[in-house]
Structure 1
Amino acid sequence: MLDLKLPDVTGLSGFLRLRERIPDVPVLVISALTSVEVVQALMAAGAAGFIPKDAATNDLKTALIEIRSGRRYIRRDIEMPARRPGQRRACPQCRRSASGLRN
């Protein structure tokens, strides 16, 4: 699990650094930042799941079970835009952040 608001982790760039170091480990992100843009960017960048910081213990349990089973998890009340067939999920912020890590 990763909290986006830790002193040594700063938002999406912190998540991307973690993914770069441990690419095969599923990461569940927990954060007070719950905007569609943030969640979409995290999921597009490879997060295994996302739950808001104020989630109930049962939500956390469900997320961990889903992720352990190889599925991704986003709580149903978090709105995600629908994808059109063939549309990629990568967002411009993800591409910019990821390219910045390679420099």
Structure 2
Amino acid sequence: MTTLMDAIQGGDLEIYLQDFGQPVVIDGRPLTALVDDEGQGPDEARENVNVQVRKLVVKEAELARPKSGRPMILDGVPWIVSNTKGAGGFLEIQLYKEVS
């Protein structure tokens, strides 16, 4: 599975963040992030539960690396951290929330 950071090679991440990043507020802290709404679908681990998934890319220096399972408030909406990957000074954070 290709991650957002894999798709945007090396130093290009900084350029993408400057050109396509959008303002977000994570746990009360304003940041600029690349936001990729991955849509919604069934939770593979739980029957009859649908989740919405979103990925963010932020500068690692601006946010402490969140652990899986940790709640995170994104633009006033509660999410759960699914996983976090770091590379080249950036963090890719995958979030989910239950929708049914």
Shorter-normalised TM range: under 0.3
TM-score (norm 2): 0.27
> Would you tell me which structure has more helix in proportion to its own residues?
1
Could you state the TM-score of these two structures normalised by the residue count of structure 1? 0.26
